[in-house]
Amino acid sequence: MEAALLIRERIVYSESSFAELVLWQLPIPVEGATHRFKYRLAYVFKGACVVRYDNESRKGDHRHFGNKESAYAFVNPEKLVADFQRDIERWNRENRGS
């Protein structure tokens, strides 16, 4: 099995905000992961990445929300995208007027 691109999408929310989602299914897990997915989901507001989910090799699954980074418990791609969307909504709610 070769790596398969599952999602490559850019979603424009406004003149100052957009999300980019990239998700691959791999033949073997990246180092530090127990699943065969490689992903990078980012929400950018006014040129700054304010929400990001990714799984760098050796670093494992994690998320960035504002300036904070925390571990992320990956379940499946559908939950990943749903959690990412929920964090975008939360960030926008908490940062109204920014």
Predicted confidence (pLDDT) per residue in 80-93, tens digit: 999 999 999 999 99
Predicted confidence (pLDDT) per residue in 15-54, tens digit: 999 999 999 999 999 888 889 999 999 999 999 999 999 9
Beta carbons within 8 Å of 43's beta carbon, 6+ residues apart? 17, 18, 19, 49, 50, 51, 52, 84, 87, 88, 91
Predicted confidence (pLDDT) per residue in 66-78, tens digit: 999 999 999 999 9
* Global model pTM greater than 0.85: yes
Q: Where are the domains of the chain?
A: 4-94
Q: Is the dihedral of CA 92, 94, 96, 98 positive or negative?
A: negative
